[in-house]
Chains A and B, each alone.
Chain A
Amino acid sequence: MAKHFGIDFGTTNSAVVVYDDQRKSFTRIGEKGPIPFPSVIAVDNLTQEVSAGQKVKDQIITLREGGMHLVIESVKTILDSDQLWTTPARTWRAGDIASELFRALAQRAEEDNNPPLREAVVAIPIGMNADKRATLRSAADSAGVKVLSFISEPTAAFIAHSGELRHCRYAVVFDWGGGTLDISVLEVKSGCIIERYTAGSPKAGDYIDDLLARWLHSQISETHGLTIGFDNVAPEERHILLNESEKAKRQLQQEDATQAVIELGRYAGLTLVAQTLTKATLNSILEDVVSGALEMLLQCVEAARVSQEEIGRLIVVGGTSQLSLLQRELRQRWPHPNIIFPREADWDIARGAAWVAAHPGCYRMAESIGVVLSDDQFHAIFPVNTKQESARSTLHFGLVEDATTATFNFAARNGDERATHIGELHTPCFGFRDELIELDCHITSDLVFEANADSEAKPQRKRSFKYDMLRWMYEVPGSDISQENP
């Protein structure tokens, strides 16, 4: 296959990038040129026809108000929920919605004369739990897209800039998107990218839009004598204000823009309302959020026990990182000339994922996982550096007490540090006797440690333990992406 796909399945927007192995070039697949694909779908209640992306986003209010469509946004955040949506013909789960988004992305790729999107590397945020990963994989599968592997978003962003990071031992990825702010301190060691420290915050693009909308509401209330609170405004009108706030925010990021005018057809009983937002006001509203984000960045670097001087590059990606206030403040508070503000911040993660699809590396464990024995000693099941695909082991245990339950305490250990308890597994036994308990352990392709305990005397009582928060390092193959950028 000469073309390889990488997908950044985002909360607010999703991006697909194709890497052409022969031409050594990347192609973006999104909406209207440089805009990624909005992660929103609408289902027609009558025909069950599904539409997605920008056309739904543009008419979201009309579709919602019309009552003839089921409209769902930000499905990524609720992939592990039991939430159900119903249309007259069927019931929808979060996985079904995600599947429709994958289908829409595949269709969009084909419209641009690309080969069918049948397999891809999908970027996921750090800390995405096992259930969400499994749902995402199965959703992609139902849409006919095989997930070759998952790659963490900061690692994908790092890979997208690996040419500029060739001699760096440490790098920081500051990924400020629509749904979250994720900061990762990465270390490059023996050809592996290690996530040394990560931190996250929900104060991102959507939160900023909400702040702006609330400020605009207060201004409109003051001018027109409104007494109704923002939260009590009709949902569709509130949604319009949020959309207009986002547009104004984007507009004011242009270098020559000084003010934006927000015009609303009707709002809280008023008609034809207009409100001006200046760049200075926008910056004063965002001051605390930006300052908080930068504070988090500095704390994250400190917690990673790396000095700022040791950080080779600071890569700033994600839609919200385009805020001019952030860029200005960052240059002041990060006094090192090593910040990378990519021109296509929205696409870097998908670009890194596409490159990984063409040059698959492998995951190795960045910490040991094991079981604490009855004498409180840590016994590593999979030591540091174990490859994900070869992580499979069967161990035998015996019960040292005359109890009817065997207790396995699992722990993770980083270097010489004390082992940290991560959970336990209880399996029924007959008591102290010649009874072997088999512990079968492996690491799934979704990077989840799974252990199944099974007493030979009670084979029907198998019990399982899963842990999805292991620390990984990604071994990058030798090729250099910088030579292959368009």
Chain B
Amino acid sequence: MRSNLKLRSNVYLRKRSVALQNDEAFLGQVRGESAVGKLLGMYGIPAGHRRHSDSEVIALFRQNKLTQRQLNTIKWELRCIRCDCIPIGVSFRDVVEFRCSEPGCAQSSTPVRSVLIPDSILAGHPRTTGWEQILSGAIQSCRGVLPEFSTEQPRTRIVVRVAPTADWLYSDSELSAFIVYGLKHQD
């Protein structure tokens, strides 16, 4: 029986004469939350500003000093500040879950986002509360896969509480797409 495990190499060629911060080919290979964190530190990003959505991080990405994979690493591998585990990940049910068991985990405090919804959709489904149930139901039924965006105008801003997982994973327009899907497929 053939093994289905593979021991992956974790080394890449370095140019001896080139300083680490200038060895672009090598730096593009850096992987894992801890190493990418150190990489951000090397670029002078303070510890509190290393979220994927922080402007300093986005600026590095635009300057090609950070690859898409490294950006994703920050997105996915954020540690709980209390138990040091990585609480966001894909569960065996194939959905992204927030799994930190610490009751006071800083990541578990429910964030609030404001998103734009087309007026035509809102007119068909007038309601002012329960947006979080519509959003989580839509994410679950889409299994996390983004539904179609709607760019229809005019749009109205609504405020919605979102689970930490969704907060880390989705942009405002993506959350809007899920809510639109949820509203269209209610009942």
Residue among B15, B16, B30 making CB contact with A400, cutoff 8 Å? B30
Report if A399 contacts B (CB, 8 A).
yes
Interface centre among A379, A396, A424, A432 (most CB of B within 10 A): A432
- Whether B9 and A371, one on each chain, are in contact in the complex, defined by CB atoms closer than 8 angstroms, is yes
B118 to chain A, nearest CB (A): 43
Residue among B7, B11, B32, B39 making CB contact with A397, cutoff 8 Å? B11
A408 to B12: give the CA distance in the assembly, Å: 9
Q: List 15 A-B contacts (CB under 8 A).
A: A371-B11, A373-B9, A374-B11, A395-B13, A398-B11, A398-B14, A398-B23, A402-B34, A403-B32, A407-B9, A407-B11, A431-B34, A432-B38, A433-B38, A436-B14
A373 to B32: give the CA distance in the assembly, Å: 16
Q: Which A residues are in CB contact (< 8 Å) with B23? A: 398
Report if A222 contacts B (CB, 8 A).
no
Q: Which A residues are in CB contact (< 8 Å) with B173? A: none
- Whether B14 and A403, one on each chain, are in contact in the complex, defined by CB atoms closer than 8 angstroms, is no
| Chain B residues engaging chain A, CB cutoff 8 angstroms | 7-16, 19-20, 23, 26, 29-32, 34-35, 38-39
A398 to B19: give the CA distance in the assembly, Å: 12
| Chain A residues engaging chain B, CB cutoff 8 angstroms | 371-376, 379, 395-403, 406-409, 424, 431-434, 436-437
Q: Which B residues are in CB contact (< 8 Å) with A431? A: 34-35
Interface centre among B14, B38, B39 (most CB of A within 10 A): B14
A374 to B39: give the CA distance in the assembly, Å: 17
A84 to B31: give the CA distance in the assembly, Å: 51
Q: Which A residues are in CB contact (< 8 Å) with B32? A: 400-403, 432
- Which chain B residue shows the least CB distance to A375? B29
Q: A374-B31, A375-B29 are in contact. Are A399 and B9 (CB under 8 A)?
A: no
A175 to B12: give the CA distance in the assembly, Å: 45
A368 to chain B, nearest CB (A): 16
A375 to B38: give the CA distance in the assembly, Å: 20
Q: Which A residues are in CB contact (< 8 Å) with B12? A: 373-375, 397-398, 400
- Whether A434 and B20, one on each chain, are in contact in the complex, defined by CB atoms closer than 8 angstroms, is yes
B65 to chain A, nearest CB (A): 15
Q: Which B residues are in CB contact (< 8 Å) with A408? A: 9, 11
Q: Which A residues are in CB contact (< 8 Å) with B39? A: 432
B45 to chain A, nearest CB (A): 15
Q: A407-B8, A409-B7 are in contact. Are A397 and B13 (CB under 8 A)?
A: yes
Q: Which A residues are in CB contact (< 8 Å) with B31? A: 374, 400-401
Q: Which A residues are in CB contact (< 8 Å) with B29? A: 373-375, 400
Q: Which B residues are in CB contact (< 8 Å) with A395? A: 13
- Whether A398 and B8, one on each chain, are in contact in the complex, defined by CB atoms closer than 8 angstroms, is no
Q: Which B residues are in CB contact (< 8 Å) with A374? A: 8-12, 29, 31
Residue among B7, B14, B19 making CB contact with A424, cutoff 8 Å? B7
Q: Which B residues are in CB contact (< 8 Å) with A432? A: 30, 32, 34-35, 38-39
- Whether A396 and B13, one on each chain, are in contact in the complex, defined by CB atoms closer than 8 angstroms, is yes
Q: Is the interface of B mostly helix, strand, loop or mixed?
A: loop
Q: Which A residues are in CB contact (< 8 Å) with B26? A: 398, 400
Q: A374-B29, A432-B30 are in contact. Are A400 and B20 (CB under 8 A)?
A: no
Q: A374-B29, A432-B34, A432-B35 are in contact. Are A399 and B20 (CB under 8 A)?
A: no
- Which chain A residue shows the least CB distance to B39? A432
Residue among B7, B13, B15, B16 making CB contact with A373, cutoff 8 Å? B13
Q: Which A residues are in CB contact (< 8 Å) with B35? A: 399-402, 431-432
A402 to B19: give the CA distance in the assembly, Å: 19
- Whether A399 and B38, one on each chain, are in contact in the complex, defined by CB atoms closer than 8 angstroms, is no
- Whether A396 and B14, one on each chain, are in contact in the complex, defined by CB atoms closer than 8 angstroms, is yes
- Whether A397 and B14, one on each chain, are in contact in the complex, defined by CB atoms closer than 8 angstroms, is yes
A437 to B32: give the CA distance in the assembly, Å: 19
B166 to chain A, nearest CB (A): 28
- Whether B13 and A402, one on each chain, are in contact in the complex, defined by CB atoms closer than 8 angstroms, is no
Interface centre among B7, B12, B39 (most CB of A within 10 A): B12
A406 to B20: give the CA distance in the assembly, Å: 17
Q: Which A residues are in CB contact (< 8 Å) with B13? A: 373, 379, 395-398
The 9 closest A-B pairs by CB, nearest first: A402-B34, A432-B35, A402-B35, A398-B14, A397-B11, A409-B9, A434-B20, A400-B29, A401-B10
- Whether A437 and B38, one on each chain, are in contact in the complex, defined by CB atoms closer than 8 angstroms, is no
B3 to chain A, nearest CB (A): 11
Q: A374-B31, A432-B35 are in contact. Are A399 and B7 (CB under 8 A)?
A: no
Q: Which B residues are in CB contact (< 8 Å) with A433? A: 38
Interface centre among B11, B31, B38 (most CB of A within 10 A): B11
A177 to chain B, nearest CB (A): 35
- Which chain B residue shows the least CB distance to A397? B11
- Which chain A residue shows the least CB distance to B9? A409
Q: A400-B29, A400-B31, A401-B32 are in contact. Are A436 and B7 (CB under 8 A)?
A: no
A434 to B10: give the CA distance in the assembly, Å: 15
Interface centre among A372, A396, A398, A431 (most CB of B within 10 A): A398
A239 to B26: give the CA distance in the assembly, Å: 65
B98 to chain A, nearest CB (A): 24
A374 to B7: give the CA distance in the assembly, Å: 11
B167 to chain A, nearest CB (A): 26
Q: A375-B29, A432-B35, A436-B14 are in contact. Are A398 and B20 (CB under 8 A)?
A: yes
- Whether A407 and B16, one on each chain, are in contact in the complex, defined by CB atoms closer than 8 angstroms, is no
- 8 extra A-B contacts, CB within 8 A, seeds A376-B9, A408-B9: A396-B15, A398-B11, A398-B20, A401-B10, A401-B31, A432-B35, A432-B39, A434-B20
Q: Which B residues are in CB contact (< 8 Å) with A398? A: 11-14, 20, 23, 26
A395 to B8: give the CA distance in the assembly, Å: 19
Residue among A376, A434, A437 making CB contact with B11, cutoff 8 Å? A437
B71 to chain A, nearest CB (A): 16
